[in-house]
């Protein structure tokens, strides 16, 4: 208990501070309060989050894929360059039913409800009709790991177009929790079967750019480089070299456990060099692939 005088006031000696000291103390307190109000939200925002694939069992996920492939080939003919270009587009509407899920993977059955294709190359009408017929109404069962690695476990047999559409995809999500601004890297085989040199090695860096206010939506960007060492075909065939780049962005619904939007763009350059002693000129290819996959209702 603090001792008091008979009039009720405390009897401890009072200390007086110069006015400047009191002002400085008040300023320090104000600065401390301001720093606290700024640091607290930042500390909360810096908390880590998990980015994992794992939609609820019984959920039906409807997706739309728009793809455009621009292929240009150039060679030297009679002292000048000869260039040919082909543009192919693909539209696929699909749905994936979540069949079952455990800690290791999610099993979904994907159906292509409709497909449309076009091409500026020779026999474009035939190619478009064959692609549409090959994809529409087909079914495939996929196993998707929490980090996004996907493999086909059951499909309609003998359909290369279907196999290419639902090709095995590498892991893209981080193995552990991450915070905003953190990056992670993946090395994978590039999903570019149509490239003159095949797939190649893709080294990609992903970054969690931001989260929505409720932290349920994650925005991820990615950049990557694509390369393949020069190699000759069997025998005394030509040598093929390839290089390229990739950019993209992902939007993930953390509550749903699904990537609801993905945009990617690949630019691949390949050179096919004839074997020594050949009079043929080198062929140069440039392929640009843009893809936009998004959830639809």
The rounded distance, in Å, linking the Cα atoms of 68 and 94 is 17
Give the per-residue pLDDT at 223: 96
Q: Which of 117, 108, 1 is nearest to 60 (CA)?
A: 108
When pLDDT is averaged across residues 108-134 and rounded to a whole number, the result is 84
- Using one digit for the tens of pLDDT, what is the confidence trace for 203-222? 999 999 999 999 999 999 99
Q: Are 191 and 169 in contact (CB under 8 A)?
A: yes
Alpha-carbon distance of 186 to 283, in angstroms, equals 31
| pLDDT tens digit sequence for 7-58 | 544 444 454 545 555 555 555 555 555 554 555 455 444 589 999 999 999 9
The CA distance from 109 to 248, in Å, is 26
pLDDT in tens, 249-288: 999 999 999 999 999 999 999 888 888 777 778 888 999 9
What secondary structure, in 3-state letters, does the chain show? Answer: CCCECCCCCECCCCCCCCHHHHHHHHHHHHHHHHHHHHHHHHHHHCCCECCCCCCCCCCEEEEEEEEEEEEEEEEEECCEEEEEEEEEEEEEEEEEEEEEECCCCEEEEEEEEEEEEEECCCCHHHHHHHHHHHHCCCEEEEEECCCCCEEEEEECCCCHHHHHHCCCECCCCCCCCECCCCEEEEEEECCCCCCCCCCCEEEEEEEEEEECCCCCEEEEEEEEEEEEEEEECCCCCCEEEEEEEEEEEEEEECCCCEEEEEEEEEEEEEEEECCCCCCCCCEEEEEEEEEEEEECC
Could you confirm whether domain 60-295 is CATH 1.10.1060? no
What are 263's strand-pairing partners? 249, 292
Report how far residue 258's alpha carbon sits from residue 296's, in angstroms, rounded to the nearest whole number.
13
What is residue 152's predicted lDDT score, i.e. its pLDDT?
A: 85
Distance CA 22, CA 151 (A): 70
Largest pairwise CA distance in the chain: 117
**What integer best gives the mean pLDDT of the chain?**
79
| pLDDT at site 175 | 87
d(CA 216, CA 218): 7
In the chain, % of residues over pLDDT 70: 73
Nearest alpha carbon to residue 256 among 291, 218, 292, 287: 218
Q: What's the pLDDT at 44?
A: 47
CB-based contact 254:51 (threshold 8 Å): yes
Question: Tens digits of per-residue pLDDT, 220-240?
Answer: 999 999 887 776 555 567 888
């Amino acid at each position: 208990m603090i001792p008091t005088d008979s009039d009720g006031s405390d009897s401890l000696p009072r200390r007086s501070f110069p006015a400047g000291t009191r002002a400085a103390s008040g300023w320090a307190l104000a600065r401390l309060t301001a720093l606290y109000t700024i640091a607290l939200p930042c500390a909360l925002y810096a908390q880590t989050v998990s980015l994992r694939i794992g939609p609820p069992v019984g959920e039906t996920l409807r997706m739309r894929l728009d793809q455009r492939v621009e292929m240009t080939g150039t060679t030297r003919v009679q002292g000048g360059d000869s260039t040919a270009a082909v543009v192919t587009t693909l539209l696929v509407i699909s749905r994936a039913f979540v069949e079952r899920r455990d800690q290791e993977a999610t099993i979904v059955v994907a159906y292509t409800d409709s497909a449309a294709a076009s091409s500026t190359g020779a026999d474009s009408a035939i190619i478009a009709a064959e692609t549409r017929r090959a994809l529409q109404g087909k079914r495939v069962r996929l196993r998707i790991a929490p980090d996004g690695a996907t493999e086909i476990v059951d499909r309609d047999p003998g359909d290369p177009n279907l196999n290419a559409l639902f090709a095995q995809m590498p892991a893209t999500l981080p193995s552990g929790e991450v915070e905003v601004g953190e990056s992670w890297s993946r090395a994978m085989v590039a999903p570019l079967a149509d490239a003159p040199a095949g797939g190649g090695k893709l080294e990609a860096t992903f970054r969690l750019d931001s989260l929505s206010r409720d932290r349920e939506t994650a925005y991820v960007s990615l950049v990557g480089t694509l390369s393949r060492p020069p190699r000759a075909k069997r025998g005394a065939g030509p040598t093929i070299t390839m290089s390229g780049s990739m950019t993209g962005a992902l939007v993930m619904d953390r509550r749903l456990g699904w990537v609801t939007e993905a945009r990617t763009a690949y630019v691949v350059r390949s050179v096919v060099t004839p074997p020594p002693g050949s009079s043929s000129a080198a062929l140069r290819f440039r392929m640009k692939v843009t893809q936009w996959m998004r959830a639809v209702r």
